[in-house]
Amino acid sequence: MNQPTPPVPRAEWKSRFGFVLAAAGSAVGLGNIWKFPYITGENGGGLFVLIYLACILLIGLPIMIAEIMIGRAGQRQPIGAFEAIHEKKNAWSGIGWMGVVAGFIILSFYIVVAGWAMDYTLKSVVNFTKPIEATAAAEADSFIASASKDEIKAFLVETKVAHELRPKQSLFESQLTKQESNSYDRFAAAIEAAEDKQEARRRLLTDEDLKRDVRKVEEINKKVAKAKFEISNQVERSVNVLTERQLLAEAKTAKRRALIFDKMATAFINTATNGWQSLMWAALFMMVTIGVVAGGVAAGIERACRILMPTLFALICTMVLYGAFQPGFAEAISFVFSPDPSKLKASGVLEALGHAFFTLSLGMGAMMTYGSYQSSKEALLQESLMITFLDTLIALLACMMIFPITFSYGQEPTAGPGLVFMSMPLAFAEIGAGGMLLSILFFGLLFFAALTSAMSLLEVVASYLIDQKNWTRPSAALATGLLTLAVAVPAAFSSDADSVLANWKGDYGMDFFDTMDHLASNWMLPLGGLFIAVYAGWVMPRRVQEAEVKDMPGWAFHTWLWLVRIVAPALVIIVLLQKVGVFDIDEIVAGFR
């Protein structure tokens, strides 16, 4: 058979430490800094974090070992690696092809978000929060000057009640299954549309199933209303005892923050809905990425990570330190670290599992590709442990940097991409001069984290042309980079009102951008991970495998084998079955309660 000959000598990392840093650079990215804090927020904190850690240990780490092992053994990127190990063409290289496709899909939205991070870094340099803060302060002043005392009081009460009610409300609502809320929504809409509402209600409620769902939702609604009543009383009492000075001061701060937040939100929406602008930044970001990847494995990627990773780490520590002196720090720590089972839905467990793949860059061959640039046969376990540890550490630190600020400024921990682009500048605006510095640090950090991950995504795609088609590295990086940019066009324009994709969202609730994220993170990565685990556990020749684990303790090897053979595949299959709707975990768990 005509084996493609890899260009000799094959690129290699300069040192083991360099490899670990580059792989950690791939793992640590937007997934850690914006996605993890926000899904932790949505899933109620503590317990979700614990389950995520279990997923990392039981599924992430074993698959990480498997990917690096396959890459090292094959000395090729994912499409060629399986062929090289078996010395003949085989269907497993399909994993590699799927990885290449996933790489394009992930990059297409990843570079758009990374572009926004660049945009915000530059905006921070020109201190964009300052004029926003100034206008908001002026508007708040004029509100206080023109409104009557009762109006001011009503405003303060309303703001405080809304803030205190939100966590309670989401706690109550988390007791409902998706099906229950859906059927209630349909019921409510039908009543709304009917002429004789009483009659319509009676007629619809003859259906026993519907009746049960409606009862349950109405009970929850009652509880929410009761909580609101109690909170309102309490808040009103506390506002009534304020002196006039205190009242005005508190109302002014609340008004100013609300205004700043609105303006930040508008600024972000303006950024995100401007397709051409998003594309321009994404293109700029892609150029930087192409530049590094074209520079080579050791001279480009490794060198960049050697500088960027420690910088990133130092920046995060600075921000955490800042957070530690904020009033919301204690609340943030208990939110992230104390498990509260009542706040977690079973489907949150599945989300934790999916995120474990994304955050560790698993399931699409990135770790395989990086592993293939290592000729060493040692320290597989130590390397994997180190990469996994660094990624997890940074995800947790990111929570400890973001939540103290979110809580201190009365924001909710559940704002998605907005958590980073809207809530954080709120704090920066309030801090004043030092805020500008923090803002530059923060968005710069987001940019660096995204860069070291995007490099690995592009490397997977480019290395195919280099390894299998004998392209030179710079032309491979440029060609795949430009192709990625073309794929990113729809993502950049996905929320631009003038684009053809503006109506993509429709009833289905996800715009084109979210769809790409969902497709790659929730489908392709777990599926890829499943195949990789099965391959490493059952198919990979023992002889090849053993060569890679000579220095691994026997018990560790056997635990690993057991995890990739049974545990990881079984858990991934459960997630995928839940996703295709074969069953709904929340329903099943609710059934047992």
Nearest alpha-carbon partner for 112 in 263, 261, 274, 262: 274
Residues 177-206 contacting ligand PHE, CB under 6 A: none
Minimum Å gap between C-beta 27 and ligand PHE is 5
Per CB under 6 A, the segment of 24-32, 211-219, 236-244, 256-264 that binds ligand PHE is 24-32
Nearest alpha-carbon partner for 431 in 223, 199, 130: 130
Minimum Å gap between C-beta 38 and ligand PHE is 13
Minimum Å gap between C-beta 445 and ligand PHE is 13
Closer by beta carbon to ligand PHE, 28 or else 260: 28
The position carrying tokens 């991934």 is: 572
The position carrying tokens 């690696």 is: 81
The correct pick among 6, 18, 25, 29 for binding ligand PHE (CB under 6 A) is 29
Closer by beta carbon to ligand PHE, 521 or else 578: 521
The answer to whether the CB of 38 falls within 8 A of the CB of 414 is yes
Minimum Å gap between C-beta 223 and ligand PHE is 38
Closer by beta carbon to ligand PHE, 358 or else 512: 358
Closer by beta carbon to ligand PHE, 364 or else 390: 364
What residue spans of 75-205 are helical by DSSP H?
Answer: 78-86, 93-125, 129-146, 149-173, 178-193, 197-204
The correct pick among 93, 456, 463, 495 for binding ligand PHE (CB under 6 A) is 456
Amino acid at the residue 481: G
**What's the chain's length in residues?**
593
The position carrying tokens 């009102």 is: 497
Interface with ligand PHE includes 364 (CB under 6 A)? yes
Minimum Å gap between C-beta 575 and ligand PHE is 17
The correct pick among 106, 112, 332, 461 for binding ligand PHE (CB under 6 A) is 106
Per CB under 6 A, the segment of 47-55, 199-207, 300-308, 356-364 that binds ligand PHE is 356-364
130 burial (CB, 10 Å; 0-12 / 13-18 / 19+) is middle
The correct pick among 20, 23, 24, 27 for binding ligand PHE (CB under 6 A) is 27
Minimum Å gap between C-beta 60 and ligand PHE is 11
Residue 577 in tokens: 């079955």
Q: How far apart are CA 244 and CA 471, in angstroms?
A: 74
Question: Greatest CA separation found in the chain?
Answer: 88
Closer by beta carbon to ligand PHE, 440 or else 446: 446
Nearest alpha-carbon partner for 289 in 121, 466, 455: 455
Interface with ligand PHE includes 112 (CB under 6 A)? no
The answer to whether the CB of 428 falls within 8 A of the CB of 125 is no
Closer by beta carbon to ligand PHE, 29 or else 80: 29
The answer to whether the CB of 378 falls within 8 A of the CB of 551 is yes
Minimum Å gap between C-beta 456 and ligand PHE is 5
Residue 72 in tokens: 């090292």
Minimum Å gap between C-beta 366 and ligand PHE is 4
Q: Coil, helix or strand for 70?
A: helix
E strand residue ranges, 424-572: none
Minimum Å gap between C-beta 531 and ligand PHE is 15
Site size with ligand PHE, rule: CB under 6 A: 15
How far is CA 461 from its chain centroid?
A: 22
The answer to whether the CB of 514 falls within 8 A of the CB of 113 is no
The position carrying tokens 């990469």 is: 387
The answer to whether the CB of 43 falls within 8 A of the CB of 355 is no
Minimum Å gap between C-beta 446 and ligand PHE is 10
Closer by beta carbon to ligand PHE, 103 or else 410: 103
The position carrying tokens 């079955």 is: 577
Peptide bond into 9 cis (omega under 30): yes
The correct pick among 274, 278, 361, 480 for binding ligand PHE (CB under 6 A) is 361
The answer to whether the CB of 326 falls within 8 A of the CB of 3 is no
Half-sphere exposure of residue 163: CA atoms within 13 angstroms, side-chain side: 16
Interface with ligand PHE includes 358 (CB under 6 A)? yes
The correct pick among 11, 22, 30, 438 for binding ligand PHE (CB under 6 A) is 30
Residue 313 sits at the vertex; the CA angle it makes with 421 and 11, to the nearest 5 degrees, is 105
Per CB under 6 A, the segment of 27-35, 124-132, 210-218, 483-491 that binds ligand PHE is 27-35
The correct pick among 32, 75, 159, 578 for binding ligand PHE (CB under 6 A) is 32
Interface with ligand PHE includes 429 (CB under 6 A)? no
Backbone angles phi, psi at 416, to 5 degrees: 65, -145
Minimum Å gap between C-beta 520 and ligand PHE is 8
Instruction: Compute the Cα dihedral for 452, 458, 464, 467 and give only its sign.
Output: negative
Interface with ligand PHE includes 31 (CB under 6 A)? yes
The answer to whether the CB of 104 falls within 8 A of the CB of 491 is no
Minimum Å gap between C-beta 360 and ligand PHE is 6
Closer by beta carbon to ligand PHE, 28 or else 157: 28
Interface with ligand PHE includes 108 (CB under 6 A)? no
Q: How far apart are CA 530 and CA 18, in angstroms?
A: 28
The position carrying tokens 């990570």 is: 305
Nearest alpha-carbon partner for 442 in 116, 219, 215: 116
The correct pick among 95, 98, 429, 457 for binding ligand PHE (CB under 6 A) is 457
Interface with ligand PHE includes 528 (CB under 6 A)? no
Minimum Å gap between C-beta 102 and ligand PHE is 8
- Which residues would be at the binding site for ligand PHE (CB under 6 A)? 26-27, 29-32, 106, 358-359, 361, 364, 366, 453, 456-457
